[in-house]
């Protein structure tokens, strides 16, 4: 066949995958299509019996008791935060005050959203990266050569009144439950920001705190349906998060792995807890003291998994740069000033993998 005859066939094939993995699974997929098969070195390592070869032990991330931030133990908690952000780029938060219905309802209503007929979900599909609501699949479904086993719903969430009218109107309780969740996570983020700034010993940087309090919030709901051959693909490829902090809520199915000491380790889900991680903007702001660490998501053959990542950062109009309080003659800035349009242009023009974006902002000092 001549190339001109093949192209429409490939295009037709690709169109099918644009509808996402939930759609594929609802139509009874029994093998992973070639579009999702990763080159061998990028695959997770499973044994023949479909079981993941586990690292010696799942990783137990440092635990932060949120309630202790408000008591006499605060200095100790701040120290644990500082150490976790340097060593893991991640920590886990319990006793955060959202243990009750709010987080449970959020997971549950998101499950119901992904169970809606494809025609309803697809109303929110958009290739515009700055659309207030965007339903989609894979990581970047326009650019990805290999697709990952994930559908998503992205919701801009701050200021809420600006965005709420665009959020899905079905399920009928989606907006109210997701709005409560967004507000509560934002409050949690604000308490966390003060702790992070204090842990960097730059408590005087009120300007940064104020900017972050008025900053951007993007909620990403991830849906990972069971995958017939989980050893061939990933739910999400290795990436770092671009915001300041990500607050991740997961259901009780494991899947998140972080790169720790050059090994992929699975994070043990603690029901009701939040996994918090350093994003690229915090790495820049802390002038490299805290690291945004690569992470990825495994899928499995039996259990669907839902997670909600809330990405918080400076306002979309801000320039992100190392805190002036962490820069002096002995500590020159390690990163270029960075704005959101530069980032959006970067991610929409290529496969946003690994830590490419952050690498592109690094200043290499000649000594
Ligand atoms: C993300 C992410 C992890 C997960 O949304 O950026 O890394 O477990 N999610 O779904
Ligand atoms: Ni992430």
Q: Which residues contact 262 (CB under 8 A, 6 or more apart)?
A: none
CA–CA separation, 285 vs 281, rounded Å?
6
The predicted pLDDT at position 28 comes to 92
The predicted pLDDT at position 48 comes to 55
How far does CA 130 lie from the centroid of its chain? 16
CA–CA separation, 278 vs 257, rounded Å?
15
Question: How far apart are the CA of 85 and the centre of ligand 1, in A?
Answer: 17
The predicted pLDDT at position 59 comes to 82
Per-residue pLDDT tens over the stretch 119-144: 999 999 987 878 999 999 998 787 78
pLDDT tens-place values along the chain, 367 residues long = 455 555 666 667 677 899 999 999 999 999 999 999 999 989 997 655 556 666 556 788 999 999 999 999 999 999 999 999 999 999 999 999 887 899 999 999 999 999 999 999 999 998 787 899 999 999 878 778 899 999 999 999 999 999 999 999 999 999 999 999 999 999 999 999 999 999 999 977 788 999 999 999 999 999 999 999 999 999 999 999 989 999 999 999 999 999 999 889 999 889 889 999 999 999 999 999 999 999 999 999 999 999 999 999 999 899 999 999 999 999 999 999 998 888 777 766 655 555 677 888 888 776 5
**Domain residue limits, the chain:** 69-361
- Integer angstrom CA distances of residue 202 from 13, 286, 325, 335: 53, 10, 6, 18
CA–CA separation, 333 vs 137, rounded Å?
37
Question: How far apart are the CA of 241 and the centre of ligand 2, in A?
Answer: 5
Q: Output the ligand 1 site: residues, CB below 6 A.
A: 220, 222, 236, 241, 248, 250, 255-256, 295, 297, 307, 309
| Mutational pocket test of ligand 1: of 90, 218, 307, 354, the residue with most ligand atoms within 8 Å of the beta carbon | 307
The predicted pLDDT at position 141 comes to 81
CA–CA separation, 36 vs 15, rounded Å?
14
Question: How far apart are the CA of 299 and the centre of ligand 2, in A?
Answer: 15
CA–CA separation, 346 vs 323, rounded Å?
23
Q: Which class does domain 69-361 fall in? A: mainly beta
The predicted pLDDT at position 134 comes to 95
CA–CA separation, 353 vs 238, rounded Å?
6
């Amino acid at each position: 066949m001549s190339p001109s005859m093949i192209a429409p066939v490939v295009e037709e094939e690709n169109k099918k995958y644009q509808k996402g993995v939930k759609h594929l699974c609802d139509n009874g997929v029994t093998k992973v299509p070639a579009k999702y098969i990763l080159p061998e070195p990028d695959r997770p390592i499973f044994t023949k019996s479909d079981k993941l070869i586990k690292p010696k032990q799942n990783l137990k991330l440092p635990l932060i008791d949120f309630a202790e931030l408000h008591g006499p133990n605060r200095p100790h908690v701040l120290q644990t935060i500082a150490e976790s952000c340097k060593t893991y780029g991640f920590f886990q938060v319990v006793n955060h005050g959202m243990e009750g219905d709010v987080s449970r309802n959020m997971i549950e209503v998101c499950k119901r959203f992904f169970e809606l007929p494809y025609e309803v979900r697809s109303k929110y599909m958009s290739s515009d990266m700055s659309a207030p609501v965007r339903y989609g699949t894979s990581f970047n479904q326009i650019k990805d050569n290999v697709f990952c086993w994930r559908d998503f719903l992205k919701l801009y969430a701050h200021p809420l009144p600006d965005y709420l009218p665009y959020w899905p109107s079905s399920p009928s309780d989606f907006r109210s439950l997701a709005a409560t969740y967004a507000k509560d996570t934002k409050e949690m983020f604000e308490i966390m920001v003060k702790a992070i700034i204090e842990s960097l010993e730059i408590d005087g940087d009120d300007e940064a705190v104020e900017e972050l309090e008025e900053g951007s919030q993007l909620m990403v709901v991830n849906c990972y349906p069971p995958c017939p051959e989980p050893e061939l693909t990933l739910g999400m490829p290795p990436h770092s998060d671009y915001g300041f902090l990500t607050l991740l809520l997961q259901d009780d199915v494991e899947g998140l792995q972080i790169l720790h000491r050059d090994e992929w380790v699975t994070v043990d889900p603690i029901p009701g807890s939040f996994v918090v991680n350093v994003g690229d903007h915090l790495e820049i702001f802390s002038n490299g003291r805290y690291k945004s660490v690569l992470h990825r998501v495994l899928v499995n053959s039996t259990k669907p998994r839902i997670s909600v990542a809330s990405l918080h950062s400076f306002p979309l109009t801000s320039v992100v740069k190392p805190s002036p309080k962490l820069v002096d003659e002995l500590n020159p800035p390690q990163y270029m000033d960075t704005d959101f349009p530069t980032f959006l242009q970067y991610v929409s023009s290529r496969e946003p993998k690994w830590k490419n974006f952050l690498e592109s902002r690094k200043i290499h000092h000649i000594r």
